[in-house]
Amino acid sequence: MSDDDLSRDPSATEPEWARRAPDAIDASAAEDDAEASPRRLRLVVGGRAEGDPSPFERLRGRARRGGSAPRAEFDPNPPPFRLELFRDIDPAPRKDWMVDDLLGAGELSVWFGAPGCGKSAVIGDAACHVAAGLDWFGRRVRRCGVLYIAAERASLVKRRMAAWRKHHGLDDLPLAVVSGMIDLVSDHLDAERIALAARQLTAETGIPTGWIIVDTKAQVMGGGDENSPQDMMGLVHALAAIQAATGAHVTVIDHVPHYDPNRMRGHGALLGAADATFKVSKDGDLRFIQADKSNDGPDNVRLSFSFESIVLSVDDETGKETTAPVVVPSERQPDTGQRPGHVRLSDSEEIALRHLKDALAEAGEKPPPTDHIPRSVTVVRVETWRNRCYKGQISGSDKPEARQKAFKRAADALQRKGRMATWGEWAWII
C-alpha cells in the first residue's frame, strides 16, 4: 500500500487491537466512507445520540503505544452531542444508592489504605453483601451482580469469599471473579473485555451487573506511571468507558504513599474523577472506614470492624489449616483520650439527645439478636425518636423539609461525637 493509500484509509493506520471488537458485546463494526472518517464500533449505550461513537472508540484515539499517544484523524462530519434542554431536566430527581449513603449507583469510588489495613477484605465483604441483597453495616443495599477484577492476589480474594460463603451459609450469588493480567492504560481492549464480562455475568445469573471492583489500581496500569497525568487520565477514561458501557458503579482499590497514609498514591486525576473516596486504616485489631470525599453523601461516615478467622480446610497429612478472614462490624471507636461527655453540643444536638433519652425511657426495648448492637444497651426505633424531635421543635421552622434536615444534622453530629449510635431502624445511647 502506498503512502497516498495510507493517507486516504485511516483504518489502515490503526493497530490490530483497535480493529477488533468482541462479538458478544452488542456491537457491530461499521465501515464508514474511507475518505470521510475512521472505522467505528457501534456499541448500544442508553442515552447516546444515534451515530455517536462508543466509549471504547473514543479511548482508541487516546491509547498510549510505545510511549506515544496516537490521535484519531479529524472527522469533518462528527456526530453531534446529545443536548438536554433545561426544560426537559427532571424537576424532582432522586439519587439511587447501591449502598445507602455510601455508594451511589453508577458512580466511581476509590478505597485506599496502607498494606494490611483490610481494604480489599472489607470491599470483598461488601461485594458479597450487595450480591446477596443483605444490609451492609446497617445500610440498605440494592441487590445487583458484582464483577470483581482480582488483578492482585486472586487466590486470596477467592479464599476470603469462600470464608464468607461458609460463615453466612449462602452457596450461590450473582458474583464473579476475573483474574489475570489486566491493562487499562496501554490500550483499552481490556476495558472492553471487562464490559463484556459484566454482560456475561448478567446473562449467566439473570441479575444486572451493577458493581465492578478493580483490585488494585497499581496492577491495572500496564506499566504506566501512577504519577503521570497522561497515564492516570488514560486510566480515568478507561474507567469512565466501562461505566458508560455497563451502567455499573466502579470501585478502585488503591495504595497510599509510604510517607503519607492519608492520601491516595500517584497523580490526583483519579481523586478528581471519583464521586467518593474512603480511607481504610488500622489501630491494633480494629480497622476503620472513613469517608474522605463525598460529593453528595454524608461526609461523616466512620465505620469500624474486625476480623474473624474461618477454617476452610485441614490437610490430612500435616493437619495444617487453611484459613481466611471474614469481616465483623464493631461499634468500637479509637481512643482519642477525650470522654464523649466533654464534647460540646449545639442547641439542636442537645434537644435531639434529650428526646432520645426520653424515647428510650418510654419506649425502650431489648436489642434484636444481632452482632451490630451491644447486648447490654436499650434501643428505641429511630422513627419514634424522630417524631419526638419533630414535636419538640428541633427546627425553628414548621416546614417538613426543614425539620428533616435539622434532625439529620443533629443525629449525624451526635454519632460523630460519640454520644449515641444507630444500626438499621434502632438507636441507643453510648
| Signed CA dihedral, 177, 178, 180, 185: sign only | negative
Cell 470464608 appears where?
163
Check if the beta carbon of residue 148 is closer than 8 Å to that of residue 177: yes
Kindly list the averaged pLDDT for each block of 10 residues, start to end, along the chain of length 430: 42 40 39 37 41 64 46 70 94 94 96 95 98 95 98 96 97 96 92 97 98 97 93 96 97 90 90 95 92 84 94 95 96 56 73 91 88 82 91 77 86 85 88
Other CB atoms closer than 10 Å to residue 312's CB: what's the count?
15
pLDDT at 232: 96
Distances from the Cα of 163 to the Cα of 174, 176, 201, 325, 379, angstroms: 17, 15, 22, 7, 31
pLDDT at 333: 64
Q: What fold is seen in the domain 97-330?
A: Rossmann fold (3.40.50)
Domains 97-330 and 340-429 share a fold: no
pLDDT at 377: 87
pLDDT at 297: 81
pLDDT at 337: 47
Other CB atoms closer than 10 Å to residue 320's CB: what's the count?
9
| Signed CA dihedral, 385, 386, 387, 391: sign only | positive
pLDDT at 224: 93
> Residue type for 239, please?
L
d(CA 145, CA 210) in angstroms, rounded, equals: 6
d(CA 251, CA 216) in angstroms, rounded, equals: 10
> Residue type for 396, please?
G
In 25-174, the DSSP E strands lie at 27-30, 40-43, 97-99, 103-104, 108-113, 145-150
Q: What is the pTM of this model?
A: 0.66
pLDDT at 9: 45
d(CA 249, CA 56) in angstroms, rounded, equals: 17
d(CA 150, CA 177) in angstroms, rounded, equals: 7
pLDDT at 309: 96
Residue ranges of domains in the chain: 1-94, 97-330, 340-429
CA neighbor of 307 nearest in space, from 100, 122, 52, 134? 122
Which grid cell sits at 122?
472489607
Check if the beta carbon of residue 423 is closer than 8 Å to that of residue 372: yes
pLDDT at 409: 87
Contacts of 146 (CB under 8 A, 6+ apart): 127, 128, 130, 131, 173, 174, 175, 176, 209, 210, 211, 212, 213
CA neighbor of 219 nearest in space, from 241, 248, 244, 190? 190
According to CATH, what is the number of the domain 340-429? 1.10.10
pLDDT at 415: 84
